[in-house]
Amino acid sequence: MGFTTSLTNLNEGNSLTVVLPVQTEEDSQSKKRARRSYRRSRRNRKTRYRQARFLNRKRPEGWLPPSLMARVNNVLSMVNRFKKLVPLSDCSLELVKFDTQKMMNAEISGIEYQQGTLQGYEVREYLLDKFGRRCAYCGTKDVPLEIEHVHPKSRGGSNRVSNLTLACRECNEEKDNLTLDEWSIRLANKKDKRSKWILSSLPTIIKQLQKPLKDTAVVNSTRWKLYECLIGTSLTIECGTGARTKMQRIQHELTKEHYYDAVCIGESTPTEPLLFKTNQVLQIKAKGRGSRYRSGTDKFGFPIRQMPRIKMIHGFMSGDMVKAIVPKGKYQGTWFGQIAMRSSGYVDIKDKNGKRMVQGIQAKYCQIVQRFDGYSYFVEKRKESAIPPHA
């Protein structure tokens, strides 16, 4: 999950694409569950039992949980940094990936689905994410998918997203105007492997129809807080949806990349063909600034190693971006990446995905490129030097 922002200086005709992927919802939830289990275990060991207290403090208006407010602060931090480097005047913000309120309203979603200016992109993109870009019935992928009414529209089915799914042409024609119960009876009479597979997947489909997208709920919770904070930066703010971004990116025949999404946000995207030239893309990822853990634990929560109390060791700390020139040995050569600092003075070097490339080299071989400030910075090199304009 992340925010993609396009910052443009209209007076100079310059644009700056910033891709801000933040900590994923899965990582955040797993860490919160781990902290909760440690806290409860410690409380049970050292204090008498007491019931958990909830809602015992009045929260100010507009309050967001810290895990959500951190996402807003990440975007604001990067915007303020770039304002110091580039004379920015405008900001195009992707407020929501899908407008779920419109899609859940039967009347509006019907117009949006059939004749809206987005030509079905809002609903279609939501369904593609929800069902993993494959046929919900037989699981076929990499084929043209059609929007299908689970309860047939000819028999009173609505256009609400809870009644829509994706199906390949074969499944859509086979189901026709049958309900799921009627289709399951017909499938049970067939003996081929495909029918058995579809029949076994129907209960899962029914559950998935009512399952919302968690990331969409997170963006919907933070969008207006982010908008209000960006207003305070004195930039002119323009808003758009993710579905509109995709529609405009496809119209300009651009590949699916975050930096191309950023320049296609909102109504200000030019209608004439665009020319984007770039050899390198800077990727910035929020990493946090460590944790309160004083010891490493095993999977059961028991301590197995003590964490160093001093973060700065031999002039380095974990998270620093370094250039390491190793003269000899197994890792001979030049390495770039983030370091994990050990108390012994030896370091490991990681790539942008957190995978260790180098282990146990001496710190004297390292030179600082970027001090750790809570973010990781990696430059992605593109093969082509330019994307040609399209007619």
Domain membership of residue 130 as a residue range: 106-209
CATH number of the domain bearing residue 112: 1.10.30
Do 336 and 270 lie in one domain? The reply is no
Domain count, the chain: 3
Do 227 and 193 lie in one domain? The reply is no
**Which has the closest alpha carbon to 13: 125, 90, 93, 81?**
90
Label residues 207-225 b or e (16+ Cβ within 10 Å = b): eebeeeeeebebbbebbeb
What is the pLDDT, as a whole number, of residue 364? 92
Do 199 and 171 lie in one domain? The reply is yes
Domain assignment present for residue 113? The answer is: yes
pLDDT band at 6 (very low <50, low <70, confident <90, very high): very low
Label residues 139-173 b or e (16+ Cβ within 10 Å = b): ebeeeebebbbbbbeeeeeebbbebbbbbbeebbe
- Least confident piece of the model among 39-48, 149-158, 329-338: 39-48
Domain assignment present for residue 241? The answer is: yes
Residue where a domain stops, chosen among 150, 176, 209: 209
Do 228 and 271 lie in one domain? The reply is yes
Bridge-based pairing state of the strands 236-241 and 90-96 = parallel
Q: How far is CA 353 from CA 198, 356, 371, in A?
A: 37, 9, 18
| Torsion angles phi and psi, residue 147, rounded to 5 | -75, 125
Q: How distant is the alpha carbon of residue 164 from its chain centre?
A: 24
What is the pLDDT, as a whole number, of residue 181? 85
Per-residue pLDDT, averaged over 120-134, amounts to 74
Do 17 and 91 lie in one domain? The reply is yes
* DSSP secondary structure letters along 310-329: -S-BTTB-TT-EEEEEE-SS
E strand spans, the chain:
2-9, 14-21, 90-96, 145-149, 164-168, 236-241, 276-277, 280-286, 295-297, 303-306, 321-326, 333-341, 346-350, 356-362, 366-370, 375-381, 386-387
Which of 170-174, 191-195, 322-326 is the most confident on average? 322-326
Quote the percentage of the chain above a pLDDT of 90.
9
Handedness of CA 160, 161, 162, 163 (dihedral sign): positive
Do 133 and 189 lie in one domain? The reply is yes
Per-residue pLDDT, averaged over 315-340, amounts to 91
Domain assignment present for residue 250? The answer is: yes
Domain assignment present for residue 189? The answer is: yes
> Are the CB atoms for 280 and 366 separated by under 8 Å?
no
Do 111 and 204 lie in one domain? The reply is yes
Q: How distant is the alpha carbon of residue 314 from its chain centre?
A: 36
Query: Hunting for tokens 């967001």 — which residue is that?
Result: 64
pLDDT, tens digit, 9 for 90 and up, residues 23-34: 555 667 788 888
Domain assignment present for residue 391? The answer is: no
Radius of gyration for the chain, computed over Cα atoms and rounded to the nearest angstrom:
26
Do 157 and 12 lie in one domain? The reply is no
Domain assignment present for residue 134? The answer is: yes
Do 13 and 93 lie in one domain? The reply is yes
Rounded Cα distance, 272 and 274, in Å = 6
Domain assignment present for residue 251? The answer is: yes
pLDDT, tens digit, 9 for 90 and up, residues 261-294: 888 888 888 777 666 666 778 888 888 777 777 7
Rounded Cα distance, 72 and 41, in Å = 32
Do 16 and 82 lie in one domain? The reply is yes
Query: Hunting for tokens 């997208």 — which residue is that?
Result: 213
The token duo for 373 is 């400030």
What is the pLDDT, as a whole number, of residue 113? 36
Mapped onto helix, strand or coil, the DSSP state of residue 91 is strand
- State the maximum Cα–Cα separation within the chain, in Å, rounded to a whole number: 75
pLDDT, tens digit, 9 for 90 and up, residues 204-256: 877 777 666 666 677 778 888 888 899 888 888 888 887 788 888 888 888 77
Do 129 and 173 lie in one domain? The reply is yes
Do 281 and 303 lie in one domain? The reply is no
Map 370-382 to HEC letters.
ECCCCEEEEEEEC
pTM for the model: 0.58
Residue where a domain stops, chosen among 151, 182, 209: 209
| Torsion angles phi and psi, residue 264, rounded to 5 | -110, 15
What is the pLDDT, as a whole number, of residue 332? 93
> What are the start-end ranges of the H helices in 16-168?
25-46, 66-85, 100-104, 106-114, 121-130
Handedness of CA 321, 327, 329, 330 (dihedral sign): positive
